Amino acid sequence: MKKSKFTEAQVAFVLKQVEDGTPAAEDWRRGYNEVRPHSAIGNKLPISLINGSREQVRANVPP
């Protein structure tokens, strides 16, 4: 069996999120699109292109 690149703590965290009903994919999507600027689009947030503004949307996403 191939060794995982994730630690046991990381795996346990994700499994706990699933158990608690936390949508991990949705958290990642929000962080990617609403919190982190992208250099390919002039260090803007992708959501700002959709909204037509430079307004940053704050999400409850861990760094």
Angle, alpha carbons 40-41-42 (nearest 5°): 100
Query: What mean pLDDT is predicted for residues 49-59?
Result: 59
Model confidence band, residue 7 (pLDDT cutoffs 50, 70, 90)? very high
| Domains in the chain: boundaries | 23-56
Using a pLDDT cut of 90, give the percent of the chain over it: 10
Phi, psi dihedral angles at 38 (to 5 degrees): -115, 125
Q: Which of the four pLDDT bands, split at 50, 70 and 90, describes residue 17?
A: confident
pTM of the predicted model over 0.75 = no
Q: Find the distance separating the first CA and the last CA of the chain, reported in whole Å.
A: 31
